[in-house]
Structure 1
Amino acid sequence: MTQPEQTSQTHHHKARAQLRRVLKLGVMGLLVVLACLQHFALTLPQPESLLPGRTDGLVVPTGGQARIQEGLRLLHSGAASRMLITGVGQDVSKQVLATELKLTADHLQTFTCCVDIDKVALDTKGNAKAALIWAEARQFSTLRLVTANYHLPRAHLEFSRLLPHHKVTGWPVTPPDLQARDWYWHWPTVRLLTREYAKYLFALIQS
């Protein structure tokens, strides 16, 4: 074998070895990501079966009717004196929201008297800022954050950061179409949890 052939073969072996290392690292990285997602999915907060202790206010970020309905249920049961629904959008009034929610008579009365809405917030950090303004205006010191269970870890992180002098307690709501236990077989849940976990990690890095 000539010297050029030996050199070419050596480069070829090195390239193959390097490719194997890259593939091995890629597989290991993928396994780590999948393991982290599995842990995130299996440790999502679970809804409580008993009514919670009383707080001054309830805060419900928009993102699903189940959150608002659960917040109204808690408010109607006496778990707080008022509730803030944050991030409803500039064109949404209380009347429009009440119509969309198709509230029962009891819940409609509670909604009319004891619910405030925020039209400014566009994201979770904005929800926390709106909650801070609302809590200070109402002189509330304890809040219960009512949101989807997959959203609660990040939301609680953002709220705790922006409301350090308020006690914020989470109250998870499980969306009916969330397949957290077998998330890897359900593509919409895979997308949702992957996106939310990435946002949570980013928020964690910023804290």
Structure 2
Amino acid sequence: MHHSFRPKTKLTSLAPEPMRRSPLRRMLRWCGFVCIVGAAILIAGFLRFADSITTMQPPADPHADAIVVLTGGYQRIDQAVELLEKGAGKRLLISGAHPSTTATQIRKMTSGPANLFSCCVDIGYDAIDTIGNAEETSNWIRTKGYRRVLVVTNNYHMPRSLAELSYVNPDIEFVPYPVVNSDLRTRDWFVDSNAMRVMLAEYVKCLAAGLRNLTGFGRHSGLRSEGAVNDL
């Protein structure tokens, strides 16, 4: 019987070799991871910011050398004038008033006593934004020699205001007196599109202010004219 000889063949694996990840794929993976972590940090930061705003309350017994109110709403000025009348500070600066607004108009709008305005109220017209408020207030503080100042503005605007004021005046003690926005007092403010828009916009501005103050990049005077100093 004749048997044909067949050489044994070596079996080879048909499974493909594992593909090595390209540098581009690794980079995209890490970028995605960084974006997820960054988004989580931003969301957590916003929730913390929102909580601090909605729970912010004015001090029970405010007292300082002087008072500054940052314009942006008549409610703020009303509150500041009332604090001045109660003796919470010796003098009041209304920072960022429009050039066409007179002291008489502001007095009538707040129903403040004429003698109080003539003796103890200064009006600043140079500031055009929060940075300008800080610069204008700094000029006023240096002129008057104050060390402790009560700051009146809306609660959502307070963190950024204090950051800008402290950046320009690191040796001055600023005491926040927030004017509480009724729209933010309720627990369901986040379903109000207007309240949510205000909170998100202010949060972004706070982040930008912190980055600007840290790096110094993009910082401007915030005054109507460069180097302007009010004779307050």
TM-score, length-normalised on structure 1? 0.78
Q: What is the CA RMSD across the aligned residues, in angstroms?
A: 2.9
Contact 1:73 1:107 in 2 (8 A): no
Label 1:179 to 1:30 Cα distance change in 2 as closer, same or farther (>3 A). farther
Gaps of 5+ in 2: 1-18, 20-26, 215-232
Q: Deviations over 1:163-192 (max 9, x none)?
A: 123222211111233357433201111111
**Aligned residue pairs, count:** 191
Work out which of the residue numbers 143, 149, 153 in structure 1 matches 2:155.
Answer: 149
User: Does the CA-based 8 Å contact 1:41-1:180 persist in structure 2?
Assistant: no
Q: Does 1:121 align with 2:127?
A: yes
Partner of 2:137: 131
Q: Kindly provide the amino acid, as one letter, of the partner of residue 99 in structure 2.
A: Q
Report the Cα offset of residue 25 of structure 1. 7.4
User: Of the two, which has the highest radius of gyration?
Assistant: 2
What is the rounded CA distance, in whole Å, between the counterparts of 1:87 and 1:146 in structure 2? 13
Contiguous gaps of at least 5 residues in structure 1? 1-9, 11-17
Distance 1:160 1:41, change over 3 A: same
Please identify which structure carries the higher helix content: 1
> Structure 1 residue aligned with 2:51, among 36, 39, 42?
42
Specify the SS of the correspondent of 2:184: coil
Q: 1:68 aligns to what?
A: 77
Q: 1:48-104: per-residue Cα shift (whole Å, max 9, x none)?
A: 362213x111010001122111111211111111000100111111112223x2x34
* Cross-structure match for 1:52: 62
Contact 2:59/2:177 (<8 A) preserved: no
State TM-score, norm by structure 2.
Answer: 0.70
**C-alpha distance in 2, partners of 1:19/1:141?**
52
User: Identity, % of aligned pairs?
Assistant: 32
